[in-house]
Amino acid sequence: MQYDGLRFSAAKHGDHNELDDFVQGKGQYTSDINVEGQLHACFVRSTHASAFIKEINRRIHTGIPVLAFPQVRYVGEAIALVIATDEKTAQLAAEQIEISLDVQTGAISLKIALALCFSAIRKSYAV
């Protein structure tokens, strides 16, 4: 295997034969790999640009661990993480989670953020 500083590959520079398996549908992706005891994760993402998590409720008690982050900083940010023994269970459990948010005013530009004197995105970054 050759290491060129940017990638690991058995192919030499300019050789694209490694792509043949993927083009022909025979390639192996990380999602194709399954090992005994493997866990799967599914994220719950925010639909708000700025918010604080007040409470997290699950409709069903599955015993599946849920990790939640206290603050939303942008739309699409992962705010909760569900871990399960298979992908389907993780996705179903993530769909069952109910999150109560204290939605804050979001800044859509630096100019607005400065005008409104927004605090640091993370409290640890405050000056």
CATH number at residue 59: 3.90.1170.50
How many CB atoms are located within 10 Å of the residue 114 CB?
10
Asked whether residue 19 is domain-assigned, the answer is no
Asked whether residue 67 is domain-assigned, the answer is yes
Asked whether residue 103 is domain-assigned, the answer is yes
Asked whether residue 45 is domain-assigned, the answer is yes
**Which amino acid makes up residue 41?**
A
% helix / strand / coil in the chain, to the nearest 5? 25, 30, 50
Q: CA–CA separation, 56 vs 54, rounded Å?
A: 7
Asked whether residue 8 is domain-assigned, the answer is no
Asked whether residue 11 is domain-assigned, the answer is no
Domain containing 46: what range? 38-125
Cβ atoms of 115 and 105 within 8 Å: the answer is no
Asked whether residue 60 is domain-assigned, the answer is yes
The torsion angle over the Cα atoms of residues 18, 22, 23 and 24, rounded to 10 degrees, is: 110
Half-sphere exposure for 62 (CA within 13 Å, toward CB):
20
Asked whether residue 2 is domain-assigned, the answer is no
> What's the total number of domains in the chain?
1
pLDDT in tens, the chain (127 residues): 444 455 555 556 656 666 777 788 877 788 788 889 999 999 999 999 889 999 888 766 566 777 888 888 889 999 988 888 889 998 998 998 889 999 988 777 888 777 766 555 555 444 4
pTM, two decimal places: 0.64
